[in-house]
Chains A and B, each alone.
Chain A
Amino acid sequence: MLAITFPGKMKEAVMMGRLGAGVVLVGFLLLSRGASPARAEAVSVDAVHSSVLFRIKHLNTSHAWGRFNDVAGKLNLDDGNPAVEVQIKTASIDTGNPKREEHLKSPDFFNAKQFPAITFRSTRIQKSGDGKYAVDGKLTLHGVEKPIHVELTRTGAGKNQQGTSIVGYETNFIIKRSDFGMKYLLEGLSDDVLLIVSLECGAK
């Protein structure tokens, strides 16, 4: 077995050299991780600058609009293993009328105490064009999980006031609320509900 021994100061210099090389290597790895789009990290949904809107037809006459104010989630569309997860708090429904919101949160519709969250989890994501993604996933609403397909569009990218990189995505799709067990008052409020989801995401 060959053993190399260094005298005093030389040993110290070798140790410093090894330490320096380690720092350089870690720095290189960190930089390359940030620069490579193939290793991009998931970005988190910024609830303040994101919107989840819904539209439903009232008495077959006009469209009533509402929104959910509490949305969270993570998106990773550039990685080799893309995934989208979105969670919406049902009780954050906002239609501009507290009594209507109370009714919508009741067992007549969302039953928000029993089903406090609406969730979406992607199962398959494919790039379908420049900044466009075909997303298959499972939407869970009112305790019922159903597969849905949405077309997600990248709406832009930039930096916020803190200098953090941000990116925007949007999709709109129609669901039938009766598919999710929300069958009350179908003669007064349409079965089809349009959802518009606009998300601003950034690293947290």
Chain B
Amino acid sequence: MFTLGDLWAGIALPLGLAAAGLLAARWLTRHRLGARASRSWGGPLAVALGFAGGIWALFGWPGFPPLDANDWLLFLALPLSLLGTLDASARLPMQVRLAASTVAVVGVLLLVSWPVIKDFESSWPDGTRAVAVTCALSIAWIFSLDELAARRSAAGVGALLLATLAPAAAVLALSGSQRLAQTSGVLAAAVGGWALAEYALGAAGVAAGIPLIVGSLHGGVLLCGTLYASLSLGNLALLLAAVHAAWLVQRWVGQPWVGRQRGILSAVVQAALVAAVSCWALARAWLAFDAGGY
């Protein structure tokens, strides 16, 4: 049951906050860093602002430390955005970026899964396997999207993200938890707000730092769905693997034997493939769903 208030707090507010956050960040940094350097600045902070604002408006501010493990995501949004900003602004070597992404993903996933995995004997093998699979797929998700972000406009990356985040929210809604579905929806709305603002600013924006924060939060929400609600590990894997479809297309269009057509067609194909894989998970969740009158 979603009310108008839920739509406002869960979609309009995070979208508006993220868009306003990016515009403000670019305006502030443009004079200090110059137009070119400011293009990669502010994205992670804008997404974190939209995400935190939406979650706060929907569920209120939880105490610290939070009761429910999924509430850690709200507190992690800011540190992740700082790590994303560092990733975006400093030209770090690949090994350092890999280490930073691994630390971010492992940190987020350990915090949200701790109530289950702290008792290793009872969490083995299902809980431990879910954490390991989510960890590996989330790190791969970040790197796959990072490579795409280096070649695509920020708005294009935003479209790819929305193609998987929106179906993920619907899958979670069918997997027993409206709260996790709304959390995923807020993340999608915040990414949408950032992407819209990037589009409004022109095609020059760079999605640097975005994969780290979005990938870590997305992996965290999905892991909560598997550990604490009824999201199957298969659907979790499909949702996290969806972006690799775009990465494969990117690799394919980059080959000389198909030419160097990296225009609108490949972007549409990429988004369609990502959406198709994500909707595969949605179809599986829908077929398994039996409300039984509830």
Establish whether residues A108 and B292, one from each chain, have CB atoms under 8 Å apart when the complex forms: no
Report the minimum CB–CB distance from B52 to chain A (whole Å): 18
- CB contacts under 8 Å to A, within B223-252, are 224, 227-230
> Which among A98, A103, A111, A181 has the highest number of chain B CB atoms within 10 Å?
A111
Establish whether residues B179 and A113, one from each chain, have CB atoms under 8 Å apart when the complex forms: no
Report the minimum CB–CB distance from B199 to chain A (whole Å): 34
For the complex with contacts A102-B176, A103-B178, A181-B67, 13 further pairs of A-B residues with Cβ separation under 8 Å are: A97-B292, A99-B291, A99-B293, A100-B294, A102-B230, A105-B176, A106-B177, A106-B229, A107-B177, A107-B228, A114-B116, A184-B179, A185-B1
- CB contacts under 8 Å to A, within B194-218, are none
- CB contacts under 8 Å to A, within B168-182, are 176-180
The 3 A-B pairs at the shortest CB distance, nearest first, are namely A106-B177, A99-B294, A114-B115
Establish whether residues A144 and B176, one from each chain, have CB atoms under 8 Å apart when the complex forms: no
Scan A115-147; emit 1 where CB is below 8 A from any B CB, else 0. Answer: 000000000000000000000000000111000
6 A-B Cβ contacts within 8 A? Answer: A99-B293, A100-B294, A107-B69, A111-B68, A181-B68, A188-B1
- Known contacts: A103-B177, A106-B229. The answer to whether A114 contacts B68 by CB under 8 A is yes
Report the minimum CB–CB distance from A94 to chain B (whole Å): 14
Name A98's closest neighbour in chain B (CB-CB): B292
Name A144's closest neighbour in chain B (CB-CB): B67
Establish whether residues A114 and B228, one from each chain, have CB atoms under 8 Å apart when the complex forms: yes
Establish whether residues A106 and B176, one from each chain, have CB atoms under 8 Å apart when the complex forms: yes
- B59 an interface residue at 8 Å Cβ cutoff? yes
Instruction: Give residues in A with beta carbon < 8 Å to B.
Output: 97-100, 102-103, 105-108, 111, 113-114, 142-144, 181, 183-185, 187-188
Whole-angstrom CA separation of A102 from B179 in the bound complex: 13
Whole-angstrom CA separation of A142 from B230 in the bound complex: 19
Name B230's closest neighbour in chain A (CB-CB): A102
Whole-angstrom CA separation of A170 from B294 in the bound complex: 31
Whole-angstrom CA separation of A114 from B224 in the bound complex: 10
Report the minimum CB–CB distance from B290 to chain A (whole Å): 7
Establish whether residues A107 and B224, one from each chain, have CB atoms under 8 Å apart when the complex forms: yes
Report the minimum CB–CB distance from A88 to chain B (whole Å): 18
- B60 an interface residue at 8 Å Cβ cutoff? yes
- B70 an interface residue at 8 Å Cβ cutoff? yes
Establish whether residues B68 and A107, one from each chain, have CB atoms under 8 Å apart when the complex forms: yes
Question: B179: which A residues are within 8 A, CB to CB?
Answer: 106-108, 184
Question: B176: which A residues are within 8 A, CB to CB?
Answer: 102-103, 105-106
